[in-house]
Amino acid sequence: QVEERDGDVVRGEYSLVDSDGYKRIVQYTSDPENGFNAVVNRVPVDHIKVVKAVAAPTPLPVAYHH
């Protein structure tokens, strides 16, 4: 992530990889006259494999004998 400020004008950019394997690149500006504006580009990312999160298995109940 990169962000810079010049008085009341802010410019920045960040990126992330979506779960569908595309890299989302967001470039934004914000100033008192125009407010917040963002441009979003999506590009395929072939070399990054997105792994789906899997829930941990539920532990089996433990039987206690007296």
- Angle at 35 (CA atoms; ends 33, 39), nearest 5 degrees: 125
pLDDT score at 66: 65
pLDDT score at 51: 62
pLDDT score at 10: 97
CA distance 66 to 61: 16
Q: How many CB atoms lie within 10 A of CB 27?
A: 15
Give the residue with greater pLDDT, 40 vs 62.
Answer: 40
Report whether 29 contacts 49 (CB < 8 A): no
pTM above threshold 0.75? no
Give the residue with greater pLDDT, 41 vs 49.
Answer: 41
pLDDT score at 11: 98
Domain residue ranges of the chain, discontinuous segments joined by +: 2-44
Report whether 49 contacts 38 (CB < 8 A): no
Predicted confidence band of residue 50 (pLDDT cuts 50, 70, 90): low
